[in-house]
Chains A and B, each alone.
Chain A
Amino acid sequence: MISVTRPVLYSEAIRERWRRPRFRGELSGATAIAEDVNPLCGDRVRMQLTLDNGRVSAARFAGDSCAICTASADVVAELVQGRSRAEAVALGAADVLGVLQADVRPTRMRCVTLPISVLAKALS
């Protein structure tokens, strides 16, 4: 079958982090763990954090999710490291989208925000 020239679906940053996430994995000795699902699609994200003196010293994510959600989780895990609890909770969708260099349609925004809400849950 001839190959189709497709329009690029996602930003380079999303595609790169979907194919080669940097912060996916287990974190032994994690001190804050939370998990949640997106009821619309069943996607699942788990965030594991290590907190030292009120600062996030390490973060990893795991789960089963689409490219946007996986890329978002990867960015959240990256951005949160070194932040205080208050700074980490302040992380928002705009921060993640900035790193992903992407506009996301309203129907997919929950894919971006799921890892952020899981992070907030882990820190609460």
Chain B
Amino acid sequence: MMLDEQTRRDFPILARIVNGRPLVYLDSAASSQKPRSVIEAMARYYETSHANVHRSIHTLGEEATELYEIARDRVQRFIGAGAREEIVFTRGTTDAISIVAEAIGRTLRPGDEILVTDMEHHSNLVPWQVAVRDRGARIRSVPLVGEGILDLTAVDRLLSERTRVFAFAHVSNVLGTINPVAELVTRARRVGALTLVDGAQAVPHLPLDMSALGCDFYAFSAHKMLGPTGLGVLYGRRSVLESLEPARGGSEMIKEVWVDRATWNDLPWRLEPGTPPIAETVGLTAAIEYLEKLGMERVREHEHALAVHAVELLSAIPGVRVFGPRRERGAVVSFAVDGWHPHDVAAALDAEGIAVRAGHHCAQPLMRWCGVVGTSRASFSVYNSVEESALLAHAVAGLGAAP
């Protein structure tokens, strides 16, 4: 049985009719849909167990705290982290990256460098730009070659003892390129640089093992992996997290407070100021359970097959250009249609019930490399079918010469 035949009925929203047609949702890279089990777990939490975590000495508070900390254990196991203290809950991928960039930013000295790549999402560029500002540090970037892969010779040239952090995406949200994380981490470690991996487009689609990747930080969002919005995860190697001086203060993250100073709580709470998104972590637990039941190896195979199928169908259409590697790719397919602006493509497809993303995908430096203002992008998840990628190609083929 195809994966989508098993999963489809678990996602209530997929029964929607959009513009008179059954919804074909091909925008999961922006935000995935949610299975009933996630929606119900969050509702059940609010109906039966909600209270604030950690400080409430009453039954509901204990239940909420237990659920919150169970989510941490589930995330730890799901991504193969060595210890629960290495899992920090954040508001999203952007927030997770910012927590690291803010903390390291305060330690940057003139001449220090942050290395990024030309395929980064703005979320893995702008926090670093803010971090280096006024500190005499600078950002350098790894260029792309060929179908849109990192220039590995340039990586070695750009990494030096001045490099404090090498920050890069695991999977490009535009090209679908899968970067060789372990290899890049090894090279960065040779010069003593820390590594931060933006895993937003990888965690929902690939089996992961932090111990095999070896990176210092790994950031991702719940809402792209069948979970709720407003929640992200920062994984950090324990020894590195220990050395990270918190840049943000508030409740939860302290041991003892005076009016003019405080001592910090233990990890991971030290990096979680304020009341966290509790119901969202309950939803994330349900999302992880859902993905684990499917099996991430099977998820990867299914989505890879859909992406490769879409690449083949789309690139066979005259006037259509597909970006990124043809075979070694993640679950996103970006394309351009002659005579059509990407927004008009998205509007035309929407009229047929097909939801795709169009625009710069928060990757403007990459758009410049591609030589376009934006692209149209189809992205796949566990509920998408081969028929849907064929429907997409059929609709694109029928667009005609111009809007």
Interface residue B373 (Cβ < 8 Å from any Cβ of A):
yes
- Are the C-beta atoms of A6 and B397 separated by less than 8 Å? no
Measured between C-beta atoms, what is the minimum distance from B113 to chain A in Å?
28
Chain B residue nearest to A7 (CB atoms) is B351
Measured between C-beta atoms, what is the minimum distance from A70 to chain B in Å?
8
User: Which residues of chain B are near A64, meaning CB under 8 Å?
Assistant: 373
Contact of B395 among A4, A65, A66, A111 (CB under 8 A): A4
Bitwise interface map of B from 321 to 332 toward A, beta carbon under 8 Å scored 1, else 0: 000000000000
- Interface with B: A37-45, A50-58, A73-81, A83-91, which one? A37-45
Subset of 21 A-B contacts with CB under 8 Å: A1-B398, A4-B394, A4-B398, A6-B348, A6-B352, A6-B400, A7-B19, A9-B344, A9-B403, A10-B344, A40-B359, A42-B360, A42-B364, A44-B373, A64-B373, A65-B341, A66-B341, A66-B343, A67-B403, A70-B341, A108-B343
Chain A residue nearest to B348 (CB atoms) is A9
Interface residue A18 (Cβ < 8 Å from any Cβ of B):
yes
Bitwise interface map of B from 377 to 403 toward A, beta carbon under 8 Å scored 1, else 0: 000000000000000001101111011
Interface residue B358 (Cβ < 8 Å from any Cβ of A):
yes
Interface residue A3 (Cβ < 8 Å from any Cβ of B):
yes
Cα A10 to Cα B399 in complex, Å, equals 13
- Are the C-beta atoms of B403 and A42 separated by less than 8 Å? no
In the complex, the 5 A-B pairs of residues with the closest C-beta atoms, listed nearest first: A4-B398, A42-B360, A66-B341, A66-B343, A41-B359
Cα A18 to Cα B402 in complex, Å, equals 8
Cα A64 to Cα B394 in complex, Å, equals 27
- The A/B interface has a contact count, at CB < 8 Å, of 66
Range of interface residues on B (Cβ < 8 Å) = 20 to 34
Cα A14 to Cα B342 in complex, Å, equals 16
Cα A80 to Cα B402 in complex, Å, equals 27
Cα A14 to Cα B364 in complex, Å, equals 27
User: Which residues of chain B are near A22, meaning CB under 8 Å?
Assistant: none
Interface residue B347 (Cβ < 8 Å from any Cβ of A):
yes
- Are the C-beta atoms of B397 and A41 separated by less than 8 Å? no
Interface residue B367 (Cβ < 8 Å from any Cβ of A):
yes
- Are the C-beta atoms of B373 and A43 separated by less than 8 Å? yes
- Given contacts A9-B347, A64-B373, A18 and B403 within 8 Å (CB-CB): yes
- Given contacts A6-B348, A7-B351, A111-B343, A41 and B358 within 8 Å (CB-CB): yes
- Given contacts A1-B394, A41-B343, A41-B358, A15 and B373 within 8 Å (CB-CB): no
Interface residue B268 (Cβ < 8 Å from any Cβ of A):
no
Interface residue B374 (Cβ < 8 Å from any Cβ of A):
yes
Cα A15 to Cα B360 in complex, Å, equals 23
Bitwise interface map of B from 343 to 381 toward A, beta carbon under 8 Å scored 1, else 0: 110011001100000111000100100000110000000
Chain B residue nearest to A65 (CB atoms) is B341
Cα A64 to Cα B341 in complex, Å, equals 9
User: Which residues of chain B are near A19, meaning CB under 8 Å?
Assistant: 402
User: Which of A19, A65, A66 counts the most B-chain CB atoms under 10 A from its CB?
Assistant: A66
